[in-house]
Chains A and B, each alone.
Chain A
Amino acid sequence: MADSKIDLLQGTLDLMVLQTLAAMGSLHGYGIARRIEQVSGEEILLNQGTIYASLVRLQERGWISGEWGTSENNRKAKFYSITKKGRKQLAEDAVYWQRLSGVMRRVLAMQGEGGDE
């Protein structure tokens, strides 16, 4: 079934990470990856390792911050949380994506009608 999973578009992973952190508060890398998988209903193809490139990128931009802590089952892990700057960015990106997906839906809908004629 792996073949039918959706490839991530450039930049979408960053947005997902931001949204996940905004919704869940502080999370470690594995937690973020699992959460995204669960929310997407296991529909996207995510090499969990790629999350770390995204995390370091977001950190360098100052949108998230990370520090080492202990998980509920007593494991050391690095926990990330979204920053104020990150929330602002998330708001902007969310608007953009919603507009884009709205446009996409309408465009695709139009194509469907044309095909019926």
Chain B
Amino acid sequence: MIGWLRQLLNRLRSSFPSTSQDRELDAEMASHLELAVEENTKSGMSREEARRQALIKFGGVEQARAKQHEARGFPGLDILWLDLRYTFRAMRRDPVFTCVAILILTLGIGANVAVFSVVNTIMLRPLPFYEPQQLVWIAGSKGVGGRSAQTYSSDAYKDFIVQNHVFESVTAYFAFSTDDNLLLMGNGELRPITGIMVAQNFFETLGVKPIIGRLFTADECKHNAAPVILLGYGFWKQHFAADPNIVGRAVRMSDQSMTVIGVLPENFDFGSVFEPGSKVDVYGPAILDDMEEWGNGLSLIGRLKPGVNISQAQSEADLLFPHLHFDLKHPNWGGNYSAKLTILKEYVSGKLRRSLIVLWCAVGMILLIVCVNLSNLMLARAAARSKEFAMRSALGAGRGRLVRQLLTESLVLSGTGAIFGLVLAFLITSYLAHQGSIALPLLNSVKVDGTALAWTLFITVATAVIFGLAPGVKMSRNNLQDALKDGGQGMSEGKKHERLRSILVVSELALACVLLVGAGLLLHSFLRVLDVDLGFEPARTAAIKADLPYNNNGDQRGAIARDMLQRIKAIPGIEAAGTSDNLPLGMNRNWSLGTHDKDYIQAHLPPTFVYVVTPGYLNAMGIRLIEGRDISWQDAAGNQAVVIINQKAAKFLWPGEGPIGRTAQVASKDATVIGVVADVRESSAETESGWQMYLPRTQFGPVGTQLVVRTSLPPEVLASSVMSVLRSINPEQPAVEFRTIQGIVDHSTSPRRFFVYLVGIFAVLGLVLASLGIYGVISYSVTRQTQEIGIRMALGATVSNVQFRVIAKTLRLALIGIALGAAASFAMAQAIASLLFAVHSNDPPTFTGTILLLTCVAVLAGYLPARRASRIDPMIALRNN
């Protein structure tokens, strides 16, 4: 025993550089021996003899060292080292346990870090601008309505800059730039790129500095200035191979030569902040003087002066905005402006906060389930190791020492899990960052950063403490004698273990139940969203952006479109075709719609979404005509203006009076209502339709041309023949691709899909872990009761009898867990009610489905051990003792 200790100490010492205490002791002992030798020689001994006597008296240097070591206690590092070595040995001894534990931890921690990175990027981290908390989003029409309702005219913008006292600067960008609105020329290939026009002070206001070159000057924002552009980082890298000498070079775009004046930094991504899901390549100056006739179109962003808060700014805006001019040349055209001020960060990610919190909670629950599961595994192992621990405490290890050992083990496990988890999180985040099609803000800047690493460290330690402490305390409290006596065959201590494990399994099932109900409710909502009557038919419909030559003459404009459509319809496989300037769920604009028939205050009518279309568009898009007729080519520029309105507008303007043939006021022009169509979800699948109107391309000016075709063939097959028609009309038609309307719908539902998928994955993970947990406990109890079952069978219990007992036990545990979980789920469902769509928070199918699913899984998890139990051979079981 002493020898063993000495050996251990020796080994320890050799594995460590000696401490200062060790060195001091050595020096002290050396001086001791010298003093002794000196005294002995004085008394007449030979030097040799004196030394021998001194050593005899001293009684063994090593022993003295060991005793002193013992007396001063182990230094912390020694113990840690000892525990670590022991842990690694224990882990090697039980590779299955180790692998399972690390796998579970990897999934749990990886998912947590990945979700934390998303939450951190979208919700917690400030926007990548200078002092972003001072930036304010200024939205018109109290933030409701389409884009033109929420934007301002250039004169209003200029007025506001001069009149306000609360903003250090106010900037703007043109909100009606569409994707692929510019044509990059050169290298023979025409390439569509996306450009956006921003006010001169845009980047200065945000605090974004170019990495090379400079920003716009005031002169470059004047009428007839030579065109200049700033390049986005990604575009510069891809198209100009990150050429450092790009500044000053002329680039041909849409028939114009533009001079590059600078490149913006990598972390500036306009799309990810202001237009989630789209990517901006180049930035040009907004020439305000040229935009006076454009109507509303500028989105405003202001930087508050230091010390001004948002409510002060809001009260000033409430005073100023109603008096701003829509157009200075027509001072009597009231702007009817108002403004709703929101902190920019809130505008960008405020709507997502609740979803993100739910996601965060879901992934946190996963981690809890992981902890519970590991606690369970550790307990199972603890039972097997109880003798080892009893032996250790018999040899003098204190309770603290044993808990410490167990905590070291769980820390090593969770640390290893965390390392793999970080790798997993890194993979997930880099995958997400490249999902341009998910319309979530800032998603492309998601990465595992320093904060996420700190979070990882925190959850790793927390996890280790949670799953290591319970078994540790439990274990160290073991009565020594009981543990040594307990043969591990269903004795009292084993039973106690089992009770704790059952509690853990019950809580695991309850957690899984909450997760499943949550995921079920969200999934059901998602299905409801997919089921929404959009007002058009996305299937078999595709759109392509046609670049038709613009013509101010309505009849000529119509003739070009008519010619194109005739040729397009001649392509085999195309059943219907038409054009519109905007598509549902995409860019939109608002005009006013009213009638002289009634006495309305125009400002009180909702803004109306405008679509300038050709005949055949409604048919191609699958928008149902309720009454009246479609637009025809006979509705020429010189004829009576006509309009088709949607049911919602019709019901309000002429309730029960038959709107066909009535005269409507369309943006202060009279037009005859010729048809009523079904309401289309224009903003998102989940948003109720607003007022909508469809105007003939011949009579009203379109803002672009989206060619929509309904086809029996996949759009890719048609692409080349459609493109050759477009090229024959406009040789400079850029090579753009068909977008299926279904794709546009999917893009619009992508945030919800994103959350549903993630929560769904977590719920499945939770279910798997919980079923593993229940399987583990039941299987373990069957093993412990092998003898008992053997006796029962020897006494005549049938196979089904034995199986029934095991499954009944499983079900009892499962039902308690499910009952608790269902109760908790009701509370959880209330909390997420606002995220649900057309699904009640107590949705019976979801609750019933979850309960059934969990019960089935529990029965299955119990069936496997039950089958094993029923195959026990009584002879072998009894002989085993």
Q: Are A52 and B67 in contact (CB under 8 A)?
A: yes
A47 to B25, CA, bound (A): 16
Which residues of A lie under 8 Å from residue B38 when comparing CB positions? 73, 75
Q: Are B35 and A48 in contact (CB under 8 A)?
A: no
For the complex formed, measure the closest distance between the CB of A24 and the CB atoms of chain B, giving whole angstroms. Answer: 15
Which residues of A lie under 8 Å from residue B68 when comparing CB positions? 52-53, 56
A114 to B190, CA, bound (A): 123
Q: Are A52 and B28 in contact (CB under 8 A)?
A: yes
A54 to B68, CA, bound (A): 8
Which residues of B lie under 8 Å from residue A52 when comparing CB positions? 25, 28-29, 64, 67-68
Q: Are B64 and A77 in contact (CB under 8 A)?
A: no
The residue in A49, A50, A78 that gathers the most chain B C-beta atoms within 10 A of its C-beta is A49
The residue of chain A having its C-beta at the shortest distance from the C-beta of B66 within the complex is: A53
Encode contact with A along B610-648: 1 for CB under 8 Å, 0 otherwise: 000000000000000000000000000000000000000
Q: Are B71 and A56 in contact (CB under 8 A)?
A: yes
- Verify if B189 is at the interface (C-beta below 8 Å from A): no
Q: Are B35 and A30 in contact (CB under 8 A)?
A: yes
For the complex formed, measure the closest distance between the CB of B41 and the CB atoms of chain A, giving whole angstroms. Answer: 12
Which residues of A lie under 8 Å from residue B35 when comparing CB positions? 28, 30-31, 71, 75, 77
Q: Are A49 and B72 in contact (CB under 8 A)?
A: no
The residue of chain B having its C-beta at the shortest distance from the C-beta of A58 within the complex is: B71
A45 to B61, CA, bound (A): 17
Which residues of B lie under 8 Å from residue A77 when comparing CB positions? 28, 31-32, 35
- Verify if B655 is at the interface (C-beta below 8 Å from A): no
The residue of chain A having its C-beta at the shortest distance from the C-beta of B64 within the complex is: A49
Within residues 462 to 511 of chain B, which ones have a CB less than 8 A from any CB in chain A?
none
Q: Are B72 and A30 in contact (CB under 8 A)?
A: no
The contact of B63 among A31, A49, A56, by CB within 8 Å, is A49
Stretch from B12-20, B52-60, B297-305, B568-576 that touches the partner:
B52-60
Encode contact with A along B18-39: 1 for CB under 8 Å, 0 otherwise: 0000001101110110111011
Q: Which of the four size classes fits the interface of chain A? A: 20 to 34
Q: Are A53 and B34 in contact (CB under 8 A)?
A: no
Which residues of B lie under 8 Å from residue A71 when comparing CB positions? 35
- Verify if A117 is at the interface (C-beta below 8 Å from B): no
- Verify if B70 is at the interface (C-beta below 8 Å from A): yes
Q: Which of the four size classes fits the interface of chain B? A: 20 to 34
Which residues of A lie under 8 Å from residue B71 when comparing CB positions? 53-54, 56-57, 60
A47 to B24, CA, bound (A): 20
Q: Are A47 and B64 in contact (CB under 8 A)?
A: yes
Which residues of A lie under 8 Å from residue B70 when comparing CB positions? 53
Q: Are B61 and A49 in contact (CB under 8 A)?
A: yes
Within residues 35 to 51 of chain B, which ones have a CB less than 8 A from any CB in chain A?
35-36, 38-39
The contact of A57 among B31, B39, B72, by CB within 8 Å, is B72
A41 to B477, CA, bound (A): 49
Q: Are A78 and B29 in contact (CB under 8 A)?
A: no
Q: Are B57 and A48 in contact (CB under 8 A)?
A: yes
Q: Are A29 and B72 in contact (CB under 8 A)?
A: no
Encode contact with B along A33-74: 1 for CB under 8 Å, 0 otherwise: 110000000000001111011101100100000000001010
For the complex formed, measure the closest distance between the CB of A75 and the CB atoms of chain B, giving whole angstroms. Answer: 6
Instruction: Given A49-B60, A50-B59, decide whether A75 and B31 contact each other with a Cβ distance below 8 A.
Output: yes
Q: Are A56 and B59 in contact (CB under 8 A)?
A: no
The residue of chain B having its C-beta at the shortest distance from the C-beta of A37 within the complex is: B57
Encode contact with A along B58-84: 1 for CB under 8 Å, 0 otherwise: 111101100110111100000000000
- Verify if A76 is at the interface (C-beta below 8 Å from B): yes
Which residues of A lie under 8 Å from residue B34 when comparing CB positions? 75
The contact of A49 among B24, B29, B31, B39, by CB within 8 Å, is B29
For the complex formed, measure the closest distance between the CB of A12 and the CB atoms of chain B, giving whole angstroms. Answer: 15
A56 to B71, CA, bound (A): 7
For the complex formed, measure the closest distance between the CB of B336 and the CB atoms of chain A, giving whole angstroms. Answer: 84
Which residues of B lie under 8 Å from residue A53 when comparing CB positions? 64, 67-68, 70-71
Q: Are B31 and A50 in contact (CB under 8 A)?
A: no
Which residues of A lie under 8 Å from residue B73 when comparing CB positions? 60
Which residues of B lie under 8 Å from residue A30 when comparing CB positions? 31-32, 35-36
For the complex formed, measure the closest distance between the CB of A41 and the CB atoms of chain B, giving whole angstroms. Answer: 16
Q: Are A47 and B58 in contact (CB under 8 A)?
A: yes
Within residues 191 to 242 of chain B, which ones have a CB less than 8 A from any CB in chain A?
none
A60 to B72, CA, bound (A): 7
Q: Are B64 and A78 in contact (CB under 8 A)?
A: no
The residue in B28, B63, B67 that gathers the most chain A C-beta atoms within 10 A of its C-beta is B28
The residue of chain B having its C-beta at the shortest distance from the C-beta of A71 within the complex is: B35
Instruction: Given A28-B31, A53-B64, A77-B35, decide whether A48 and B72 contact each other with a Cβ distance below 8 A.
Output: no
Which residues of A lie under 8 Å from residue B32 when comparing CB positions? 28-30, 33, 48, 77
A60 to B73, CA, bound (A): 10
A82 to B313, CA, bound (A): 75
For the complex formed, measure the closest distance between the CB of B215 and the CB atoms of chain A, giving whole angstroms. Answer: 68
Instruction: Given A57-B72, A77-B35, decide whether A49 and B67 contact each other with a Cβ distance below 8 A.
Output: yes
Which residues of A lie under 8 Å from residue B25 when comparing CB positions? 52, 56
The residue of chain A having its C-beta at the shortest distance from the C-beta of B39 within the complex is: A34
For the complex formed, measure the closest distance between the CB of B310 and the CB atoms of chain A, giving whole angstroms. Answer: 61
Instruction: Given A47-B59, A52-B25, A60-B72, decide whether A78 and B67 contact each other with a Cβ distance below 8 A.
Output: no
A70 to B24, CA, bound (A): 15
Which residues of B lie under 8 Å from residue A28 when comparing CB positions? 31-32, 35
Which residues of B lie under 8 Å from residue A75 when comparing CB positions? 31, 34-35, 38
For the complex formed, measure the closest distance between the CB of B182 and the CB atoms of chain A, giving whole angstroms. Answer: 79
A71 to B38, CA, bound (A): 12
The contact of B31 among A48, A56, A78, by CB within 8 Å, is A78
A34 to B68, CA, bound (A): 19
Instruction: Given A30-B36, A71-B35, decide whether A48 and B59 contact each other with a Cβ distance below 8 A.
Output: yes
Which residues of B lie under 8 Å from residue A76 when comparing CB positions? 27, 31
Which residues of A lie under 8 Å from residue B28 when comparing CB positions? 29, 52, 77-78
Q: List 14 A-B contacts (CB under 8 A).
A: A28-B31, A29-B31, A47-B60, A48-B58, A49-B60, A49-B63, A52-B29, A54-B71, A57-B72, A75-B34, A76-B31, A77-B31, A77-B35, A78-B24
- For the complex of A and B, list the 3 residue pairs with the smallest distance between their C-beta atoms, beginning with the closest: A47-B59, A49-B64, A53-B67
Q: Which B residues lie at the A interface, using CB under 8 A?
A: 24-25, 27-29, 31-32, 34-36, 38-39, 57-61, 63-64, 67-68, 70-73
Apart from A28-B32, A60-B73, list 6 A-B contacts with CB within 8 A: A48-B59, A49-B60, A53-B67, A60-B72, A78-B24, A78-B27
